[in-house]
């Protein structure tokens, strides 16, 4: 299986007043194409920071991040934004749906950055909503949906542009167990049936059990990995 993400000596520091905070320390990691990786560890261990760096939402202090052979740490802001739009789908704990838009409209949002026509955008969004089992809710606004349905709309929005990577930050953290299990079922199906490469930050051991691999971070370093 080919390596999709290759991270070498990745370091990320933040300045907090006069204090230098080391979040990630010379971390090395390889993620193969088609992996479903769960990132676990205590709060402040660097999980979300690592996810944001892989997704191009933040830049490393030093080290390199290669995705499909491209060193994204060397891209300028414009090129990084374009790369992110083309290659990464994000799923967040709080859904981040726009309340004034329907489910269909929310899913179409990433496609506004593309050259697709309005009809092509509608078709892509409809297909993504069908994939997550929400075709009948396409014209409903977020306030008319349950939390689990909102998260599935978020997943449809994340996959509508057929991204290389699906990055999920506590995707079940705000859901009850039943809704959370439905979301995890969907992520597992996207990995198993669609071949999506998924990296998921979670505190929930039951969520992590759905992944192919579990990686543990502590104080910015990889401390152990379980299969």
34-61+76-226, which class in CATH?
Answer: alpha beta
- pLDDT given for residue 227 in this prediction: 53
- pLDDT given for residue 21 in this prediction: 87
Q: Listing from the earlier edge strand, what are the strands of the sheet with 3-16?
A: 19-32, 3-16, 62-67, 70-71
What ranges do the domains of the chain cover? 34-61+76-226
Contact in structure between 140 and 115 (CB atoms under 8 Å):
no
Q: Which two tokens stand for residue 9?
A: 């000596």
- pLDDT given for residue 220 in this prediction: 84
Contact in structure between 16 and 28 (CB atoms under 8 Å):
no
Which residues make beta-bridge pairs with 134?
none
User: What is the full per-residue pLDDT of the chain (227 aa) written as tens digits?
Assistant: 799 999 999 999 988 888 888 899 999 999 999 999 999 998 888 899 999 999 999 999 999 999 998 899 899 999 998 899 889 999 988 888 999 999 999 999 989 878 889 999 999 999 999 999 999 999 999 999 999 999 999 999 999 999 999 999 999 988 899 999 999 999 999 999 999 999 999 999 999 999 999 999 988 888 866 55
Q: What is the pTM of this model?
A: 0.91
Residues with Cβ within 8 Å of residue 51, at least 6 apart in sequence: 39, 167, 169, 199, 201
CA gap 110, 50 in Å, rounded = 23
């Amino acid at each position: 299986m080919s390596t999709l993400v290759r991270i070498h000596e990745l370091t990320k520091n933040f300045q907090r007043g006069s204090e230098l905070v080391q979040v990630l320390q010379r971390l090395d990691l390889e993620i193969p194409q088609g992996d479903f990786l769960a990132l676990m560890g205590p709060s402040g261990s660097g999980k979300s920071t690592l996810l944001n760096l892989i997704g191009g939402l933040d830049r490393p202090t030093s080290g390199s991040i290669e995705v499909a052979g491209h060193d994204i740490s060397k891209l300028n802001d414009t090129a990084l934004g374009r790369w992110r739009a083309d290659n990464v789908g994000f799923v967040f704990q709080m859904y981040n749906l726009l309340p004034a838009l329907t489910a269909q409209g929310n899913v179409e949002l990433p496609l506004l950055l593309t050259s697709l026509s309005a009809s092509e955008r509608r078709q892509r969004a409809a297909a993504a909503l069908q994939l997550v089992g929400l075709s009948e809710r396409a014209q409903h606004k977020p306030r008319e949906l349950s939390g689990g349905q909102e998260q599935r709309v978020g997943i449809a929005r994340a996959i509508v542009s057929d991204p290389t990577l699906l990055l999920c930050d506590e995707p079940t953290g705000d859901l009850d167990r039943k809704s959370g299990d439905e979301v995890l079922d969907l992520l597992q199906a996207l990995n198993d049936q669609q071949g999506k490469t998924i990296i998921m930050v979670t505190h929930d051991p039951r969520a992590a059990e759905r992944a192919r691999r579990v990686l543990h971070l502590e104080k910015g370093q990889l401390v152990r990995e379980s299969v």
